[in-house]
Amino acid sequence: MKTFKDSLRDELHNQNISVNELANMTGIKEQKLTYYIKNISYNSLSLHEILIISNVLGKSIYDMCQLKDIKNITQI
């Protein structure tokens, strides 16, 4: 199973988006994103930040984490 971090790296590469551009689109500090993506820091992103990133990239958080057999939160 892919992690969100793995999918984020892939999506940034596939969509040719730099960390700087992602920071500008999301309002999340570039340094925080860089440290997260490169495993420099143990700090993680909040669920809110993860949802913002998924939305900006046009992806579902379920797709980004390759989660299967999980109901949509709005259906619970």
**CATH code (residue 9):** 1.10.260.40
Q: What pLDDT, in 10s, does the model give residues 13-71?
A: 999 999 999 999 999 999 999 999 888 866 788 989 999 999 999 998 888 877 655 55
Whether the CB-CB separation of 28 and 49 falls below 8 Å is answered with yes
Number of domains forming the structure of the chain: 1
How many CB atoms neighbour CB 19 within 10 A?
Answer: 18
In terms of residue numbers, what domain contains 10? Answer: 4-75
pTM: 0.77
- Dist. CA 68–CA 73, nearest whole Å: 13
